[in-house]
Amino acid sequence: MVPITYYLLLSALLFVLGIVGFLIKRNLITVFMSIELMLNGVNLSFVAFSHMWGEVRGQIFVFFVMVVAAAEAAVGLAIIIAIFRSRKTLNVDSIDLMKL
């Protein structure tokens, strides 16, 4: 019997780790992966609440979040490829100006 709070704590920890990755990593792809980590943390808390209330809609919302994350990953990675083609680098500190 695991208290639901433990699941929520784990979800909060994953979310904060995702924000840490978003702030400190310098490679564009790793920053994007930290965003996926944040989304996964949120998914966990949705499933925990769905178990607590006995509702299936929590799980359906997670399903939709997965779908949206897949769409976002596809488009985001396509943008990253386009950026790499024009700037020849993936370091976020070098891509911070609109001027090439």
Partner 1 sequence: MHLILFFIFGGLCVAAAVNMLLQRHPIDSALSLIVVMSSLAVLYLLLGAEFLAVAQIIVYSGAIMVLFTFVVMLLNAGREQRTYGSNAAKAVGFPALAILLAVLAVSLLSVEKKLGAAALANPITGIEELSRVLFRDLLLPFEVTSVLILIAVLGAVALARKEE
Which two three-digit tokens encode residue 10?
């784990």
Q: Collapsing DSSP states into helix, strand and coil, what is residue 84?
A: helix
User: Is residue 92 within 8 Å of 26, Cβ to Cβ?
Assistant: yes
- Cβ 96 to partner 1 shortest distance, Å: 8
64 vs 99 by CB, closer to partner 1? 64
77 binds partner 1 (CB under 8 A): yes
19 binds partner 1 (CB under 8 A): yes
81 binds partner 1 (CB under 8 A): yes
Q: Name, in order, each residue with C-beta under 8 angstroms of 30's C-beta and a sequence gap of 6 or more.
A: 21
87 binds partner 1 (CB under 8 A): no
1 binds partner 1 (CB under 8 A): yes
Q: What are phi and psi of 3, to 5 degrees?
A: -60, 145
Other residues' Cβ atoms within 10 Å of the Cβ of residue 41: 19
At which residue do the structure tokens 């396509």 appear?
78
Contact residues for partner 1 (CB under 8 A)? 1-10, 12-14, 16-21, 23-27, 29-30, 32-34, 36-37, 40, 43-44, 47-48, 50-52, 54-57, 59-60, 62-64, 66-75, 77-82, 84-85, 90-93
